Chain A
Amino acid sequence: MDMMEKLEILTASAKYDVACTSSGASRSGQSGSLGNAVSMGICHSFAADGRCISLLKVLMTNGCIYDCAYCVNRKSNPTRRAAFTPEEIANLTMQFYRRNYIEGLFLSSGIMRSPDYTTEQLIAALELLRNVYNFRGYIHVKAIPGADDVLLSRLGLLADRMSVNIELPSQESLNRLAPDKSKQSILKPMGLIKSKITENSSDLVKYKHAPRFAPAGQSTQMIVGATPDTDYQILNLTEGLYKKYGLKRIFYSAYTPVVEDSLLPALDTKPPLLREHRLYQADWLLRFYGFEAKELLDEAAPNFNPLLDPKCSWAINHREQFPVEINRAPYETLLRVPGIGVRSAQRILKARKAGSLDFYALKKLGVVLKRAQFFITCKGKPLEGLKVGEHTLLRSLMSGQELAKFQLPEVEQLSFFDDSYMAALPEASTAATFGKGV
């Protein structure tokens, strides 16, 4: 099999892994070696699906001894199999990196023989890159659940970021679709990575040149829409993982049917992209906006409204907390206003040192007045001529552009919304269904 064919097979098998970020590690270049790492991360290209390409994302092999129902590489799927040698991976990474095609390598693998054997192969490739080719660029590597602690520790010293995929948000779903994996087998390596990172950070205080263990932290991903789990379950899990395991990022992957299985949504099901988008918005609210999962969703309304972003939904249900006075409100309060983001909140703080702000000024600071206008006052006054009827409020908050992008609601849905806007809010979960097969 020639290199091109191998690359195509092993890329196509890796593409459902969402993470392609190269952020979180900062390392300057060195004479005699190639590469550095930039903490904000750099996108080198964008694929036809609009996703950032920053790493050479490939599998070591797509052969696998497991049989997870949702996975394209499952044992029982009759697909073409291929494998890279450590030399081939190292060479390709160096050649692509030199041409500035990529920011580094994302290496994962199907399970060959055993988790330990697979991890040894990953270590062999990374050792070659780091120690023989002197590569100082970014490396993201998958920790294989079930591998020995010693092997995982060695892997972590070679990589910038490690990840273990949660895959499915609940034990029941795992039982159903990934019978070879258990919640425990996934959480165990996560816990190990976390303790290694903590241990390492105290070593670094003592010894400046202590080798660094996964300096860009760990991440995970879960598949959305293959199982009946609700957004509320997913978001709670997300919050727990950020808090307990100190994860850097959690990625959501709208389930794209790749294999036929009676337990899965039908093959012609469209990936629930809008639902994935709402989860990412909520994820941002947890990480940067000081929200908690229980503020955004609850048992009664366990799914996000497809027509409103999570922050607007929250604001509409908490109107007692508004309006907010732009010239006095603290940073945390500003962040909760729809239409004000981290950047514009920071700009407001800075700009009001130089003088009080009016609506015209806010526009220049990048505040999205279309949404913010309903929730703020400037110098004690609301926007002149603003009418706040329920109807105009919801109309303005629903982002037409966003909806058009996902080609979601048909005209009927909108007119339904017109009639009973407020009533529609808690039930909106219906529109986020994800396939007939469930």
Chain B
Amino acid sequence: MFKTTALAYTYDGSFEGLLCCVFESYEWKETPLAIHSDGDGQGLLLESKWIETDSVKAGRVLRSIPLKISPEAEELVRLGFWSNAADKEMLLLNFLYLGFTHGRKVMNMLADDTVSALNKAVQQLRREGHHYLGFVRFSVYGPVMAAVIEPRGYILPVIEDHFCDRFQNESFMIYDKTHGMALLHQPGRQAIIPLQEWTPPEPDEAEAAYRRLWQGFYNAIGIKQRRNDRLRASLMPKRYWKQLPEMNGNPPALPALAARQERTARRLKSGQRELQ
């Protein structure tokens, strides 16, 4: 929207920090070439400008979104920030340019490249969140329960209310290993806090027994004559399997998939050869 400067913005990786990047862009009427978060170690080739996080500036940008665009746009921006879309910062900046120009109409511009890409990213995040409503597996350790997840997007805030409502009387933790965060809940209290490392303790006898029963149930419920590994893997992608007790010690016999991967690899190789 503004003239592109040969600059990258670097910010602290927080949502507020990104809002300050938006503020900066409007203040100087310039569009950065890229926006990098502090820790990701990119942008060494570009001259970069450090954007200090300032809650007053961030607040101004945030308040203007529901006012000048719409409340739904605010939700979209928040969810977009939690997604793991490549270059999500520039995507959000471009979306806000559009939004501040067109107003609430931007939410209908589904065919626009930026809007469509942001919607896709958010859709993906929501889908992953929905998957985890089912795929979270708690282990019971006496009076407390704990689960480990490894999501691509930052979905803890997406699933927070569901689990806190469902298990109102339980004390539990869901540890997001990818993002180093954990959702903690005790009756009447809940919070998402940073947690760098946590290793689940060994299950006791009762816990191990229920896991075995669950595995027994899982194996008994499938109909042999209808076996369909590809369908299963597409509905329950393999990246989730690691944390599912029913898939543990049950290495996937997936000849079809293995063959497909090999084919893809071969195709890629021949493609490279053509390029040379």
Contact = CB atoms under 8 A, between A and B. Distances in A.
Given A42-B133, A364-B116, A3 B213 contact: yes
A302 B151 CA distance: 47
Nearest to B133: A42
Interface string A14-56: 1110000000000011111111101000111111111111101
Contacts of A364: 110-111, 113, 116
B199 interface: no
Interface stretch (A168-176, A185-193, A347-355): A347-355
Contact of B216 (A8, A50, A357): A8
Contact of A12 (B110, B116, B147, B220): B220
Interface string A352-365: 01110100111011
Interface string B234-259: 01100000001010000000000000
Contact of B110 (A14, A33, A351): A351
A16 B214 CA distance: 19
Given A355-B109, A357-B111, A45 B220 contact: no
B220 A96 contact: no
A405 to B, nearest CB: 7
Given A49-B223, A256-B225, A28 B214 contact: no
Interface residues of B, number: 51
A388 interface: no
A11 B225 CA distance: 16
B167 A15 contact: no
Nearest to A404: B230
Interface string B129-161: 010011111111000010100000000000000
A305 B133 CA distance: 38
B71 interface: no
29 contacts: A3-B213, A4-B216, A7-B213, A7-B220, A15-B220, A15-B223, A16-B223, A32-B169, A33-B169, A34-B170, A44-B134, A45-B218, A45-B244, A46-B231, A47-B222, A49-B227, A49-B232, A50-B229, A50-B235, A53-B221, A92-B213, A98-B167, A100-B147, A271-B226, A347-B110, A350-B110, A351-B108, A351-B109, A364-B116
Given A52-B235, A96-B210, 15 more contacts: A8-B220, A12-B221, A15-B222, A15-B223, A28-B165, A46-B232, A49-B222, A51-B222, A54-B134, A96-B217, A99-B140, A103-B134, A273-B226, A351-B111, A365-B116
Interface of A: 3-4, 7-8, 11-12, 14-16, 28-36, 38, 42-54, 56-57, 92, 95-96, 98-101, 103, 254, 256, 270-271, 273, 347, 350-351, 353-355, 357, 360-362, 364-365, 405
Interface of B: 105, 108-111, 113, 116, 130, 133-140, 145, 147, 162, 165-170, 187, 210, 212-214, 216-232, 235-236, 244, 246
Closest 9 CB pairs of A and B: A50-B231, A361-B111, A47-B222, A11-B220, A49-B226, A48-B222, A354-B108, A351-B110, A50-B228
